Amino acid sequence: MDTASSAGQEIILKGVAAAPGISFGPAYLYSKLIPHVEEKPITEEEVPAEIERLHNANARSEKELQKIHAFAEQKLGSQNARIFEAQIMILADAILMGAIEKRIAEEHRNAEFIVADEITKYKQIMLASHDEYMHERAHDVEDVMNRIIRNIQDQKLYSRLEGASIIVSESLAPSDTVIFSRNQVLGYATDLGGVTSHAAILARSLKIPAVVGLRTATKLITTGDTIAIDGYAGLIVLNPTEETLGTLQRKKGRYTEFEGRLVNIAGISAETADHKQIELSANIAFETEIEFSRAQGSAGIGLFRTESQLIGKTSYPGEEEQYEAYRKVADEVYPHSVIFRTFDVGGDKIAPDTEHEANPFLGWRGIRVLLDRPELFLDQIRGILRASTRKNVRIMFPMISTVQELRRAREIVAQAKKELDERALPYDPDIKIGIMIEVPAAAVLAEQMAAEADFLSIGTNDLIQYLLAVDRDNAAVAPLYQQFNPAVLKTIRHIIDAGHKKGVWVGMCGEMAGDPLATVLLVGLGIDELSVIPSVLPEIKKIILSIKYKEAKRVADKVLAMSTEEEIRDHLSSITKNKVPEIPLDE
Q: Residues in the site for Mg ion, rule: CB under 5 A?
A: 438, 459, 462
* Closest listed residue to residue 333, CA positions, set 48, 79, 64, 131: 79
Q: How many degrees, rounded to 5, is the angle at CA 92 between CA 87 and CA 98?
A: 125
Q: Which of 69, 135, 139, 509 is catalytic?
A: 509
Active site residue 494: no
CB of 129 to ligand PEP, least distance (A): 19
Q: Which of 69, 135, 139, 198 is catalytic?
A: 198
C-beta of 113 vs 377, nearer to ligand PEP: 377
CB of 528 to ligand PEP, least distance (A): 16
Which option in Mg ion, ligand PEP, none does residue 460 bind, with CB closer than 5 to 8 A by kind?
Answer: ligand PEP
CA–CA dist 360, 347 (Å, integer): 5
CB of 460 to ligand PEP, least distance (A): 5
Which option in ligand PEP, Mg ion, none does residue 82 bind, with CB closer than 5 to 8 A by kind?
Answer: none
* Closest listed residue to residue 486, CA positions, set 570, 555, 568: 568
CA–CA dist 59, 91 (Å, integer): 9
Assess contact for 149 and 120: CB atoms under 8 A: no
Assess contact for 530 and 559: CB atoms under 8 A: no
CA–CA dist 35, 156 (Å, integer): 10
C-beta of 303 vs 540, nearer to ligand PEP: 303
C-beta of 514 vs 538, nearer to ligand PEP: 514
- Give the DSSP per-residue string, 262-275: HHHTTTS--B-TT-
Partners of 165 in the β-ladder: 185
- Give the DSSP per-residue string, 143-206: HHHHHHHHHHTT-------SSSEEEEES---HHHHHHHTTS-EEEEEESS--TTSHHHHHHHHH
CB of 311 to ligand PEP, least distance (A): 14
* Cα dihedral: 156, 120, 116, 143 (round 10): 10
CA–CA dist 432, 194 (Å, integer): 36
Residue number with the shortest CB distance to Mg ion? 462
Which option in Mg ion, ligand PEP, none does residue 305 bind, with CB closer than 5 to 8 A by kind?
Answer: ligand PEP
C-beta of 15 vs 510, nearer to ligand PEP: 510
- Which are the contacts of 442, defined by CB distance < 8 A and separation ≥ 6? 400, 401, 402, 435, 449
Angle subtended by helix axes 319-333 and 374-386, to nearest 10: 40
For ligand PEP, the binding residues (CB under 6 A) are 303, 305, 344, 438, 459-462, 509-510
Q: Cα(first)–Cα(last) distance of the chain, in Å?
A: 20
CB of 341 to ligand PEP, least distance (A): 8
- Which are the contacts of 292, defined by CB distance < 8 A and separation ≥ 6? 204, 205, 534
Assess contact for 170 and 192: CB atoms under 8 A: yes
CB atoms closer than 10 angstroms to residue 28: 25
Residue 303, φ and ψ in degrees, nearest 5: -155, 115
DSSP H or E run through 260: helix 242-264
Active site residue 198: yes
Assess contact for 491 and 520: CB atoms under 8 A: no
Assess contact for 29 and 222: CB atoms under 8 A: yes
The CA-atom distances, in angstroms, between 434 and each of 38, 321, 440, 507 are: 58, 24, 17, 10
C-beta of 179 vs 509, nearer to ligand PEP: 509
CB of 159 to Mg ion, least distance (A): 43
- Give the DSSP per-residue string, 467-525: HHT--TT-GGGGGG--TT-HHHHHHHHHHHHHHHHTT-EEEE-SGGGG-HHHHHHHHHH
Give the single-character DSSP code of 110.
-
Long-range Cβ contact pairs of 331-336 (< 8 A, separation 24 or more): 331/390, 332/79, 332/287, 332/290, 333/290, 333/300, 333/301, 333/392, 334/390, 334/392, 335/392, 336/281, 336/298, 336/299, 336/300, 336/301, 336/392
CA–CA dist 270, 587 (Å, integer): 29
CB of 352 to ligand PEP, least distance (A): 17
Residue type at position 415 = Q
Which option in Mg ion, ligand PEP, none does residue 434 bind, with CB closer than 5 to 8 A by kind?
Answer: none
Q: Active-site residues: which are they?
A: 198, 509
